[in-house]
Chain A
Amino acid sequence: MSDTHGLYARELTVRYGGLVANSAVSITVRPGEIVGLIGPNGAGKTTFVDALTGFTPMTGEITLDGRAIDALPPHERRAAGLSRTWQSGELFGNLSTTENLLVATRRAGWTALARDVFGRHRRTGREVVDAALEMVGLVDVADTLARDLSLGQQKLVGVARAAAGGCTVLLLDEPAAGLDSMESRALALRLRSIADAGPGILLIDHDMSLVLNVCDRVTVLEFGKQIFTGDPGAARSDPRVVAAYLGTPTEVGHV
């Protein structure tokens, strides 16, 4: 496997007006690897994913399997193999689970229109969808409307939709937010098996136990700056990381 496989982001900077939401953040996600991106609320994690996937203007370089993708619109980045989920789920509520996934695996366009009208409606692609559902264990709810699913299931459908049809790197924005600890633990196992099957995963979450248990490496953001990158165990004991999360025991006591 050559060095360029996977996602390489170098020095991504995002500015909103005067505010620097991301300041020269760099990250690498290789195939099969789970990288955690953590940090306190408002640290700029979601902004970083938005920048990677083309939903917010940024400066810096992004390559995917050696190909520069930083000038592509979001849907082309998805086609190139960079997939994401959303913090708020963002499923297509009144489509079924299967159809949510089909949206991501079929190209829409003039040819699709012509094929819809004149051609045979394709059954292919269903296998891909079934495989993705199998992977996250949601075969049972394949025909349920997305908005009727439980929150945990919705999160998993989001993951499956992002992974369906194959991708090089999967960016998961808080897949465990709102899950109870059992669901969260089950999710960790799912993620491991997804990564083992090929794609690299960038996992953003607040659930430290999830991140620390499942990730190969973690990067910690605070105020848009990268304050730590390395082994999860080291992150847990790094004073800067603990301070960023809990606050330092300061002189406040004197007040």
Chain B
Amino acid sequence: MGTVLQFVVLGLGLGAVYIGLGSGLLLVHRATGMINFAQGAIATWGAYVFAELRNTGTLVFPIGSVDLGEPPSTATSLVIALATAIALGFAVHYLAFRPVRQNSVLAQVVVSVALLITIQALVVLRFGPNKVDVESFVPGGTVTVLGASIPTRELLIALVVVVLAALVWCYLRFTRIGIATRAASENERAAVLMGFSPSWLAAIAQAGAAFVGTVAVILASSLTGLNADYFGLLVIPALAVLLVARLESIPILVVAAIGLGSFQSLIGLLVTQPWWPVWAQSGLDQVIPFAVVMVILFVTGNRLPTRGSTQQIRLPDVPIPRMRPVVAIGLLVAAGVALALTEGTIRFGLTTSLILSLLALSYVVLTGYLGQISLAQSAFAGAAGFVLSKASVDWGVPFPVSMILCALLATALGMLVALPAFRIRGAQLAIVTLAAGLGIERFIFNNYSLSPPEGNPIADASLFGLDLAVREGRDLSRLSFSLMVLVIVAIVVWIFVRVASGDMGRAFLAVRANERAAESSGINVRRTKVIGFALSAFIAGIAGCLIGFSRGQLSAESFTVMAGLQLLAVAYLGGITTIGGSLVAGLIGPLGISYVLMRGFLDLGEYYELVLGLALILTAILNPVGIAGATHHQIEFIRRKLARRRADAAPPVDVALREEPTRV
């Protein structure tokens, strides 16, 4: 019993982070209706600033730094770090959130994901990838309860953060601005009519959220050390806690956060028990909370508050694709020639780009066409790759049956994830799928009993005696493999075009545009969603298998949550509504050809994430149709200009005809 209590208290450090991030997320959601996926990253930046001040006496900015000589005192450092966090909060509001407040939910999710990528990349660039020690200024010690020595530091940290959460609660309940923030979240127009500026309310909320989160991360990282990836992604469990608190109750949030932190700590105790199954030693701390959140959401999902908006939000256009054999063959030949003329890392980069464009295409189906936001696509891909290693090596299933089988398994997973989409949509669906992705990552890819550290080898493909292996001797990128990828990508794209231009594609677009209008037009919205998730996961699964073949083994790092977010980023950047967009996404995607060139020739590989994140923020704000869409618009513009010139030459007969009133 004493040990249990000890572990519960040890979990308070984690719980404190969830409270800090969660109450900030709640504040921001109240003020803007948006979910800030970068909340953890922002807080991590603030914590790094503090650590760096105390450790080296350097005040680090995103660009440049000031050497203060002697490290300033703890209090001074704390004040500077928190001031930085507040400034960052304001910057986040005015530079990223405010510009997209009237945009679609997708643009809002993308902006905050882009912020996450950008700030994470900045942290690594400015502070280095290694774990940093953070000064513990909270007095330590132990008390003995039930025969176990309980650390007091965790208790004090939790207390500080709970007090901060209580202050947030008081702000929302008792101050005029706080009441206005709640008011605006219920009826923004009415708040404006009472003289409140929603933008100002939101800016204050962002600053407050950054402050509370940073305090929590500074305190918690003094227990474990500071690590960008780890703390940045703690936003995911914090988001789960936020959903449990129904995005509005701070008391529930505090209880759920402490519960989750302690539970995860207790799991750590449980898995060391001799009777605990080995396969379940890793990842359960992520999977079980996710399952709990799923159940809670499924029961209460349609009662979750969403902010009504009076504005009609215009979604990016979706051109319905046509079969254009000449273009298709031209592209195929061009790609084939490019693959044949290159070799080594360049050819491998091109091949990776082809595969990435499939992953991006899975986003086109789900997000571009069906309008659902899923952040679990890379997990679907990874799951297919994982089973592929079992199927190809342990069970000896031949290619291409193995690949299709594994893609079908990803399909099944996708259909499962479609279930919450019955009840929730938009950013909340993004949260759930993100949590699902994290669960799959921790439980399967990072689980040594399922994915041994020496790797999950994947047998090379061969078809009718044709060797389709990616490597042979010193040739790291064989042409036959690249051509196989090209053929598979072509087939999948062909399937996509068939569906997108057919009855299902139209049904997808109808559901995206307006669910209830679709329903009243006789469309079974739930079934349509399941089919969309299935198709999208199938495509992701094929891509996952190809990634597996190209590496010769399942490489967990290709399928992490961060990799998935980067994929959403490039898919959106390329253009999330078109095939052209997914091809562009492939070219600029992580480890694709642009990355290879950036690293190989410009030596800028380490800036890849930063450039990606910044480009994405700009795209989401300025140009929601992505690079391919923008090009398309320009082509249309030129075409229309040419057409007008031709029309000027001829007398405008049809115009007169059209304006005749229609008679009955």
**A interface residues, Cβ below 8 angstroms from B:** 53, 55, 73-75, 78-79, 83-84, 86, 90-95, 99, 102-104, 106-110, 112-113, 115-117, 121-122, 137, 140, 147, 161-162, 186, 189-190, 193
Contacts and interface: CB of A to CB of B under 8 A. Distances in A.
Interface string B432-462: 0000000000000000000000000000000
B535 interface: yes
Contacts of B528: 108
Given A92-B514, A93-B513, A186-B662, A121 B502 contact: yes
Contacts of A112: 502-504, 507
Contact of A109 (B495, B502, B531, B658): B531
Contacts of B658: 140
A121 B509 contact: no
Contacts of A108: 503-504, 506-507, 523-524, 527-528, 531
Interface string B516-556: 11111111110110010001000000000000000000000
Contact of B499 (A102, A109, A117, A147): A117
B516 A104 contact: no
A206 B364 CA distance: 43
A80 B518 CA distance: 15
B507 A103 contact: yes
Q: Top 7 A-B pairs ranked by shortest CB distance?
A: A116-B502, A108-B507, A78-B522, A90-B517, A92-B513, A104-B521, A137-B662
Nearest to B654: A140
A130 to B, nearest CB: 16
Contacts of B531: 108-110, 113
Interface residues of B, number: 37
Interface in B281-326: 314-315, 317-318, 320
A115 B502 contact: yes
A99 B506 CA distance: 7
A75 B513 contact: no
Given A103-B523, A113-B535, A117-B499, A95 B517 contact: no
A158 to B, nearest CB: 9
B531 to A, nearest CB: 6
Interface of B: 314-315, 317-318, 320, 495, 498-499, 501-507, 509-510, 513-514, 516-525, 527-528, 531, 535, 658, 661-662, 664
A93 B316 CA distance: 11
A94 B523 contact: no
Given A74-B519, A116-B499, A103 B506 contact: yes
17 contacts: A74-B519, A75-B520, A75-B525, A86-B517, A90-B514, A90-B516, A90-B520, A92-B513, A99-B509, A104-B521, A108-B503, A108-B506, A108-B528, A113-B531, A117-B499, A117-B502, A140-B658
B313 to A, nearest CB: 10
Contacts of A109: 524, 527, 531
Given A94-B318, A95-B513, A121 B501 contact: yes
Nearest to B500: A116
A112 B505 CA distance: 10
Contacts, number: 121
Contacts of A99: 320, 506, 509
Given A94-B509, A109-B527, A140-B658, A117 B521 contact: no
Contacts of B662: 137, 186
Contact of B509 (A55, A86, A92, A122): A92
Nearest to A91: B517
A86 B520 contact: yes
B527 A106 contact: no
Contacts of B506: 95, 99, 102-103, 106, 108
Most buried by A among B315, B498, B502, B517: B517
B520 A113 contact: no
Most buried by B among A109, A116, A190: A116
A115 B514 CA distance: 24
B504 A113 contact: yes
A53 to B, nearest CB: 6
Contacts of B524: 73, 75, 108-109
A109 B527 CA distance: 7
Contacts of A90: 514, 516-517, 520
A78 B527 contact: no
Contact of A79 (B505, B517, B522): B522
Contacts of A190: 664
Given A92-B509, A92-B510, A95-B510, A103 B518 contact: yes
Nearest to B510: A103
A115 B503 contact: yes
Nearest to B512: A92
Contacts of A116: 498-499, 501-505
B452 to A, nearest CB: 38
Nearest to B522: A78
B536 to A, nearest CB: 12
Contact of A84 (B498, B502, B520): B520
Nearest to A55: B516
B495 A94 contact: no
Contacts of A186: 661-662, 664
Nearest to B317: A94
A75 B509 CA distance: 16
A2 to B, nearest CB: 26
A137 B314 CA distance: 27
Most buried by A among B503, B506, B531, B661: B503
A94 B499 CA distance: 18
A134 to B, nearest CB: 11
B520 A117 contact: no
Contacts of A102: 503, 506
A103 B521 CA distance: 7
Contacts of B519: 55, 73-75, 78
